[in-house]
A = this chain, B = another copy of it.
Amino acid sequence: MAQPAEKHHTDSRLESLNEALSSGGFLQIRRMLNGLPPADAAHLIESTPHTLRGILWQLVDIENEGDILQHLNDEVQAQFLRQMDAEEVATITEGLEADDIADILQQLPDRVIREVLDSMDHQDRVRIEHVLSYDEDTAGGLMNTDTITVRPNITLDVALRYLRRHESLPEMTDSLLVVNRNDQFIGLLSLRKMLVSDPSVTVREIMDTEVEPIQATKSAREVASLFERFDWVSAPVVDENHYLLGRITIDDVVDVIREESDHSLMSMAGLDEDEDTFASVLSTAPRRAIWLGINLLTAFVASGVINLFEGTIEKVVALAVLMPIVASMGGVAGTQTLTVVIRGMALGHISRNNSRWLINREMLVGAINGLIWALIVAGAATLWFEDPLIGAIIAAAMVINLITAALAGAILPLIMKSLNIDPALAGGVVLTTVTDVVGFMSFLGLATYFYA
């Protein structure tokens, strides 16, 4: 393992990269790229604008390509894979772990996957087909097949001698998997326990049978939650008949946790968590355009509401000046509630049983903060336009909108979830439509009533 390098080194690395590129010092770049730990090289490639990535990739030695490729994000993987034929893909992925190969293959069209598999040796093919048969976002898609299994009736001494016959043990091996003669999982034997136990006891006597193995069809999110709660380093994966299929290791779970957390952040802005920071204009623009288009539709709805009160605005222009305040405060309050609920749902804290309490709490908070800021806005508006009526109206509208915002922010994600729509993705647009419409409607509606 090479020396770990700091994140802030990326900066100086990128700088020397830029210099080398502009002075044509390809030899220097090649040496640097191939000398870095694969994760660092991948990080450097991801941090490079897409136009230069092709050049960097050309400079990676073929024996490092697989290791670096597995650390790249899906989009960049796809970019490089597009230029390879099946044979090349099979060559460079040789020696990677089954789940990493499966991840890479999933970027390819089905026809090419078939070709790559066909050009692998039989054992590898079977191993990878196994992982590929499960969805990427399930335990089966996350698992490796590099398990070390033992029988329960042997002594530790025999088990230890069996281990010594290996060249090396797979990364992150913290326990041996105990199986019966049908290859069904029956328990875990941790290395830590092996090392402190009397060599003459049998595996059966000290194995841990309380650990429930993970079903291959379990979602990646649930797998991550189990690892987090039980502080596992690795865990066995079985099929519905308890046959041992493989094991999941914490490094892959960490990636799931990272992606899951990024998902909420990115979705709330209508973005994908796989979004490549340095993608091209042509691939970025259309993705963003769709979200803007949806927002445009909802903005027109809000405009339609304002249009209903054209006559009133014509008489009292101050309404046009003040109306964005009501809408904006509702938007912010609603987004706060929405974010809390979406995070709570991601952590598994929110269920049918406590959501009513949460909705009530949010509405009460909305009412209190609505009242506080309504008083201040009322004062400011009254002074500004020398009109206490407009102060009273904006105050009332603000309280109405902040309570509505809290209600919508809490209920929308729950409704979306029950409809199987991603709450983080759709919540934001729908919410601001609600707060805009209610904000304009209550403010201009009250004004029309009192000024007409």
Q: How many identical chains are in the complex?
A: 2
Instruction: State whether A18 touches B353 (Cβ < 8 A).
Output: yes
- In the complex formed, the residue of B with least CB distance to A211 is B1
Q: Is A46 an interface residue (CB 8 A)?
A: yes
Instruction: State whether A351 touches B277 (Cβ < 8 A).
Output: no
Instruction: State whether A340 touches B271 (Cβ < 8 A).
Output: yes
A277-B358, A336-B271 are known contacts. Are A310 and B317 too (CB-CB below 8 A)? yes
Instruction: State whether B288 touches A336 (Cβ < 8 A).
Output: yes
Instruction: State whether A229 touches B39 (Cβ < 8 A).
Output: yes
- In the complex formed, the residue of B with least CB distance to A344 is B277
Give the contacting residue for A168; candidates B166, B193, B299, B372; CB below 8 A. B193
Contacts of A82 in B (CB 8 A): none
- In the complex formed, the residue of B with least CB distance to A372 is B289
Instruction: State whether A303 touches B321 (Cβ < 8 A).
Output: yes
With most chain B CB atoms within 10 A of its CB, the pick from A4, A49, A226, A257 is: A4
Instruction: State whether B251 touches A231 (Cβ < 8 A).
Output: yes
The interface residues of chain A, by DSSP majority, are classed as helix
Q: Is A110 an interface residue (CB 8 A)?
A: no
Q: Is A324 an interface residue (CB 8 A)?
A: yes
Least CB distance, A153 to chain B, in whole angstroms: 20
A196-B163, A233-B233, A262-B261 are known contacts. Are A380 and B300 too (CB-CB below 8 A)? yes
Least CB distance, A393 to chain B, in whole angstroms: 15
Contacts of A251 in B (CB 8 A): 228, 231
Give 1 or 0 for each of A204-242: 1 = CB within 8 Å of chain B CB. 000010111000000000100111111101000000000
- In the complex formed, the residue of B with least CB distance to A328 is B299
Rounded to whole angstroms, the CA-CA distance of A335 and B269 in the bound complex is 7
Instruction: State whether B324 touches A436 (Cβ < 8 A).
Output: yes
Rounded to whole angstroms, the CA-CA distance of A295 and B324 in the bound complex is 12
Rounded to whole angstroms, the CA-CA distance of A71 and B224 in the bound complex is 16
Least CB distance, A300 to chain B, in whole angstroms: 7
Rounded to whole angstroms, the CA-CA distance of A10 and B421 in the bound complex is 21
Contacts of A314 in B (CB 8 A): 314, 317
Give 1 or 0 for each of A367-381: 1 = CB within 8 Å of chain B CB. 011001100110010
Instruction: State whether B14 touches A351 (Cβ < 8 A).
Output: yes
Rounded to whole angstroms, the CA-CA distance of A37 and B166 in the bound complex is 36
Q: Is A114 an interface residue (CB 8 A)?
A: no
A46-B349, A233-B233, A329-B299 are known contacts. Are A225 and B7 too (CB-CB below 8 A)? yes
A281-B364, A285-B365 are known contacts. Are A191 and B193 too (CB-CB below 8 A)? no
- For chain A, residues 113 to 152, give those with C-beta under 8 angstroms from any C-beta of chain B: none
Instruction: State whether B291 touches A336 (Cβ < 8 A).
Output: yes
Instruction: State whether B266 touches A339 (Cβ < 8 A).
Output: yes
Least CB distance, A173 to chain B, in whole angstroms: 6
Give 1 or 0 for each of A408-432: 1 = CB within 8 Å of chain B CB. 0000000000000000000000001
Q: A228-B258, A278-B357, A295-B328 are in contact. List 5 more A-B contacts (CB 8 A).
A: A4-B229, A43-B229, A268-B339, A288-B369, A328-B436
Can you report 25 A-B residue pairs in the complex whose CB atoms are below 8 A from each other? Answer: A7-B348, A10-B351, A171-B231, A174-B233, A233-B250, A265-B265, A265-B268, A266-B339, A269-B335, A277-B343, A278-B349, A278-B354, A278-B357, A284-B361, A288-B369, A296-B377, A299-B324, A299-B325, A300-B380, A303-B324, A306-B321, A307-B321, A310-B317, A310-B321, A328-B432
